[in-house]
């Protein structure tokens, strides 16, 4: 959490209501945010009918029309997307 206060110098005029305290309230710590590349690829696969489930081990489980595919990491998911024609 980051806190920042803005105030005018002592003795300055028109300072009423100037002090502000803003807090950075992100939903995830920086190291825990899902990457934009992962989110984008999952969205591209979803648009083409593939349901992608992120697994706790860091892998991905992809389902489409009764078929499934396990990708152990993001790079394997990218290769799968290329193989099925979702990504070039």
Q: Where are the domains of the chain?
A: 3-83
Among 26, 57, 61, 27, which Cα is nearest to 42's? 61
The number of residues making up the chain comes to 88
Query: Could you read off the pLDDT tens digit of each residue along the chain, which spans 88 residues?
Result: 455 555 656 665 665 555 555 555 455 555 555 688 999 999 999 999 999 999 999 999 999 999 999 999 999 999 999 999 998 8
To the question of pTM greater than 0.75 for the whole model, the response is: no
**Cβ-proximal residues to 72 (8 Å cutoff; 6+ apart), any chain:** 57, 58, 59
Q: Which two tokens stand for residue 3?
A: 């806190």
What is the structure's pLDDT at 87?
Answer: 87
């Amino acid at each position: 959490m980051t806190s920042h206060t803005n105030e005018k110098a002592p003795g300055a005029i028109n300072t009423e209501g100037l002090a502000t305290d803003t807090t950075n309230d992100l939903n995830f710590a920086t190291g825990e945010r899902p990457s934009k590349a992962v989110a984008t690829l999952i969205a591209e696969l979803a648009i083409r009918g593939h349901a992608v489930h992120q697994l706790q081990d860091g892998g991905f489980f992809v389902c489409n029309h009764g078929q499934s595919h396990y990708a152990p990491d993001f790079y394997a998911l990218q290769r799968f997307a290329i193989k099925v024609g979702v990504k070039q």
